[in-house]
A and B are shown apart, each in its own frame.
Chain A
Amino acid sequence: MLNFIARRILATVPVLAIVAVLVFLLLRLTPGDPAAILAGDAASADQIARIRISLGLDQPIIVQFGIWIGHLVTGDLGESFYYKIQVADLIAQRLEPTLSLATLTILFSVLVSVPLGVIAAWRFGGWFDRALMGFSVMGFSIPVFVLAYILIWIVSLKLGWLPVQGYKRIADGFWPYLQHLILPSITLSVIFIALIARVTRASVLESLGEDYIRTARAKGLRESQVLIRHALANAAVPIVTVIGIGIALLIGGVVVTESVYAIPGLGRLTVDAVLARDFPTIQGVILFFSLVYVGVNLLVDLSYVFLDPRIRY
């Protein structure tokens, strides 16, 4: 087991290396000059050239890459072109809102979707099952930003229950913090509820057909026990896998949601950095996201050991 973890952690090195190279090269290939953007509309060619030299952008790409990688291996992500502070500090500052949003979204999604999926499987083919399947098709189809504006319009503008936009730090009080996160989380959750509920339903449906379910019923257990302790427990591996995939997908969703709700998180930072051609920040954020992705996958794989005693690494 420790062996497995060590090997997996070691395996993240080449993954991150490939991500680093790709991100670096792709950014250099995209049109748009960070120096020109920083200098503003009124700048002269001379000023732009000076900025370019100060950022090190006059060097050949291969040299730029060497410098960046050289810093990277010491843990230094470089300094943001735009914000003029260390990228690592920038990420740290923006982490709280994104982490809060992601955690709340996943928590909400799982708490809603797993019971829904189990009930749908239990009453397979009934009205509840069909309604849930219908909802999930809708959940998959509706774009995040459309849903966001609809929710803002109804809940915030018409009903006035929740703030329209913005973010309050947890240090400023828990209730305002939560109030600002509820709508964005629900918006983001819809697609994950659709996804996780579907997988839960399919997986529980499969385990409900197994012999040990018949055994459990023959033991005179309550139906709730049969469903949770026997059917759901055996259906857990695919469900946890899809939750893991969900966390990875969340990264994409966060970018849009944070923009719509004006939350100063990593998603918003990514958008701003891309618009400003802030290369070190984009590189840093993407590397950070891939690290999170690899970490989540490792955790999911490790969770299998606890979910199914037959799995050993």
Chain B
Amino acid sequence: MTDAKLRGSGPVLDVRGLTIALPSGSDRREAVSGASFSVKRGEILCLVGESGSGKSVIAQAVMGLLPDTLPVTGGEIVLEGENVAHAGRERLRELRATRMSMIFQEPMTALNPVMTCGDQIDEVLREHTQLTPEQRRDRILAIVREVALPEPERIIASYPHQLSGGQRQRIMIAMALVLEPALLIADEPTTALDVTTQAQILTLIQDLQQRHGMGVLFITHDFGVVAEIAHRVAVLRLGKLVELGEKDAVLKRPQHAYTKMLIGAVPSLQTHGRAAEGASEPVLRTVGLCKTYYDRGWFGRRREVHAAQDVSIEIRRGQTLGIVGESGSGKSTVARCIIRLIDPTAGEILLHGQDIARMSAAELRPLRRRVQIVFQDPYRSLNPRRTVLEAIIEGPVNYGVRRDKAIERARQLMDLVRMDPASLNRYPHQFSGGQRQRICIARALAQEPELLIADEAVSALDVSVQAQVLDLLEDIRNRLNLAMLFITHDLRVAAQVCDYVAVMSQGRIVEHGPAGQVFGAPRHEYTRALFAAAPGRDFAFGSA
């Protein structure tokens, strides 16, 4: 820190007119076009944008980690007074981890799986310092303690797979900060984490930033996180900086139309307050549904994992039931049991009163089309070698619908999901993520289901696209009078679409009730903890 003070009081990072070219044949000429912003000492600047906006490209440009295919063609990147935009390989290497550090989105994959955490931190010290092994060990233990990891001795001897996601991200942070850099670049560091872990990591970053007086360039797509952590905000759209200002100004009184649109699309934690009428017959009911996985040892040591325990839910026509929970809570297990992708261990699954939990594949076949599912990742849930038309009509044709009828229906469905029927003969890779998810919805609807399951169906989408797809799902549910099971980890999304909500934790439903009641007055302590952790919960977006 004394070192940092010696370097004067100018900004830690000053990016001026940064332009980065894209390879020819891309959808635009430049990944980043003339972006200018600065990060001051002791400040957190949030760089916000949707996927493809160029925010990660900027981060990598600062670190000098861009591939040769993305050259910096204009502007300056000034790190503590030194222009590093065209610095040599060696100079950049010296600066990394000492003056600037970076942490990444995926703590699961960002650490080397075959090296202990301690060794990975040690590498930084061995590369950049002349410390003795004992001194290095002291430094490592000190930084591990500083990122609030329990039992530092045990942690540094552990391999990454032995730690949780949050712990790994703490190791990443320890590694980035062990040499006290002046600038920390955090590229979506909490996006892959559960909401409660996310809250802890955000607090940690704020804490360390204040203690060390670092400048932080924090990259995110999540306005909740921005509201939680930013001092200033820069909004990036298609490589251009469209808005830059103090957090309150940008979030409450956005000037640029794009910022307004983005902020308007942030789902509110307030439920929509629609009256949830319970008159119609339930389409689907589960009674005491259990799924247990057995890990058979050779000599009888049997480990049991209760993925879902005693889950009883009920979904009626025209209603949406949300199952909310963190990763590993068992919410997807329930969905997979209901469509019988996996077999439940115990309990009943009643589809119109008929128990399908133990039906054979042959008995189940005629019923399969009545329950359809849309998965999380639209990039991987469509066969890349089949046209959209083939993907949509495959199901109905399998169930004996004539091909010309099925094609006719596919055209209508494309209209329904607000896409051009003329694009039916194109392949999935020719569409954006949001469009693909619409195609997946059309594919599910082609079977004329009574129950539509959306398993994290909007989680991989940008916030503006997310809003559109949520809108579409609601519209379809009303028009076709469907029952919908909506599985999500995102409380804001759940608040927008669900009539009823079930909160799951460790395989069990801990709270269950009308959305307004669960969101308005959560009774279970886990639900309360979940809400308390939701980033930006107290922040009134765009309230001006």
> Using a CB–CB distance below 8 Å, which chain A residues touch chain B?
3, 7, 210-212, 214-222, 225, 229-230, 233-234, 236, 307-310
Identify B65's interface contact among A218, A234, A309, A310, CB under 8 A.
Answer: A218
Taking the nearest CB of chain B, how far is it from the CB of A268, in angstroms? 42
Which chain B residue has the least Cβ–Cβ distance from A235?
B114
Q: Give the residues in chain A near B102, CB-CB below 8 Å.
A: 218
* CB proximity of B49 to chain A, nearest CB, Å: 20
Distance from B121 Cβ to chain A, minimum over Cβ atoms (Å): 9
Flag if B114 contacts A219 (CB, 8 Å): no
Evaluate contact between A3 and B298: CB separation under 8 angstroms: yes
Q: How distant is A213 from chain B, measured CB to nearest CB, in Å?
A: 9
Q: Known contacts A220-B97, A233-B115; can you find 9 more A-B pairs with CB under 8 A? A: A3-B298, A216-B123, A217-B65, A218-B96, A219-B96, A220-B127, A222-B127, A229-B112, A229-B123
What number of B residues sit within 8 Å (CB to CB) of A? 30
Cβ of B109 under 8 Å from chain A: yes
Chain B positions 217 through 252: 1 when the CB is less than 8 Å from some CB of chain A, otherwise 0 = 000000000000000000000000000000000000
Quick one: which of A210, A218, A233 contacts B101, CB cutoff 8 A?
A218
Bitwise interface map of B from 97 to 138 toward A, beta carbon under 8 Å scored 1, else 0: 110011010100111111100000001100110000000000
Instruction: List, sorted by A's number, 24 A–B pairs whose CB atoms are closer than 8 Å.
Output: A7-B298, A211-B110, A212-B109, A212-B113, A214-B65, A214-B104, A214-B110, A216-B123, A218-B65, A218-B104, A219-B97, A219-B123, A219-B124, A219-B127, A219-B175, A220-B93, A220-B124, A221-B123, A233-B114, A307-B114, A308-B113, A309-B114, A309-B159, A310-B161
Chain B residues with Cβ under 8 A from A214's Cβ? 65, 104, 110
Q: A3-B298, A220-B128 are in contact. Are A229 and B65 (CB under 8 A)?
A: no
0 or 1 for each of B33-64: is its CB under 8 Å from A? (1 = yes) = 00000000000000000000000000000010
* Chain A residues, Cβ within 8 Å of B440: none
What's the Cα separation between A218 and B97 when bound, in Å? 7
B109's contact among A210, A216, A221, A225, by CB below 8 Å, is which? A210
In angstroms, Cα B160 to Cα A215, docked, is 14
Whether the Cβ atoms of B104 and A215 lie closer than 8 Å is: yes
The distance in angstroms between the C-alpha atoms of A222 and B128, with both chains bound, is 10
A212: chain B residues at CB < 8 Å are 109-113
- Whole-angstrom distance between the Cβ of A2 and the nearest chain B Cβ: 12
For the complex formed, measure the closest distance between the CB of A255 and the CB atoms of chain B, giving whole angstroms.
Answer: 38
A221 and B127 form a contact (CB under 8 A): yes
Collect the chain A residues with CB atoms within 8 Å of residue B82's CB: none
Cβ contact within 8 Å between A215 and B114? no
Q: Which residues on B sit within 8 Å (CB–CB) of A7? A: 298
Which residue of B95, B104, B113, B124 contacts A310 across the interface (Cβ within 8 Å)?
Answer: B113
Cα–Cα distance between A225 and B119 once the two chains are bound (Å) = 13
Within 8 A of A (CB), among B272-299: 298-299
A215 touches B127 (CB 8 A): no
> In the bound complex, how far is the Cα of B89 from the Cα of A221, in angstroms?
11
Inter-chain CA distance A210–B101, complex, in Å, is 19
Asked if B408 is an interface residue, CB under 8 A from chain A, the answer is: no
**B63 to A234, Cβ gap below 8 A?**
no
Taking CB atoms, residues of chain A closer than 8 Å to B124 are 219-220
Query: Within the complex, what minimum Cβ distance (angstroms) separates A27 from chain B?
Result: 38
Identify which of A220, A225, A233, A236 contacts B98 (C-beta below 8 A): A220
The answer for the CA separation of A219 and B175 in the assembled complex, in Å, is 8
User: B112 to A234, Cβ gap below 8 A?
Assistant: yes
Most interface-central of A218, A219, A229 (chain B CB within 10 A)? A218
Contacts of B127 in A (CB 8 A): 219-222, 225
CA distance A35 to B102 in the complex (A): 78
Measured CA separation A212–B101 after assembly (Å): 14
- Flag whether B94 is at the interface (Cβ < 8 A): yes
Assess whether B63 is in contact with A218, with CB atoms less than 8 Å apart. Answer: yes
Q: Which residues of B contact A219 (CB under 8 A)?
A: 96-97, 123-124, 127, 175
**A232 → chain B closest CB, angstroms:** 10
- Measured between beta carbons, the chain A residues less than 8 angstroms from B65 are 214, 217-218
Contact indicator A211/B298 (Cβ below 8 Å): no
Identify the 10 closest CB pairs spanning chains A and B, nearest first.
Answer: A220-B96, A211-B109, A212-B112, A309-B159, A220-B97, A211-B110, A218-B102, A220-B93, A215-B110, A219-B97
Interface residues of B in 295-330 (CB under 8 A from A): 298-299
Q: How far is the CA of A273 from the CA of B379 in the complex (A)?
A: 61
Does chain A have a CB within 8 A of B172?
yes
In whole angstroms, what is the CA distance A236 to B109 when docked?
17
Residues from chain A with Cβ under 8 Å of B175 in the complex: 215, 219
Within the assembled complex, what's the spacing in Å between the Cα atoms of A236 and B298? 28
Name B490-523 residues within 8 Å CB distance of A: none
A234 to chain B, nearest CB (A): 6
CB proximity of A270 to chain B, nearest CB, Å: 38
Interface readout for B415-428 with A: 1 if CB under 8 Å, 0 if not? 00000000000000
- B161 CB contacts on chain A under 8 angstroms: 309-310
Residues of A within 8 A of B106 (CB): 211
Contact of A234 with B98 in the complex, beta carbons under 8 Å = no
Residue ID in chain A nearest B98 by CB atoms:
A220
Q: Does the CB pair B112–A215 fall under 8 Å?
A: yes
Select one of A210, A222, A234 contacting B93, CB under 8 A.
A222
A234 touches B114 (CB 8 A): yes
The answer on a CB contact under 8 Å between B159 and A310 is yes
Is B111 within 8 A of A215, CB to CB? Answer: yes
- Judge whether A225 and B112 touch: CB under 8 Å: no
**Chain B residues whose C-beta falls within 8 Å of the C-beta of A307 in the assembled complex:** 114
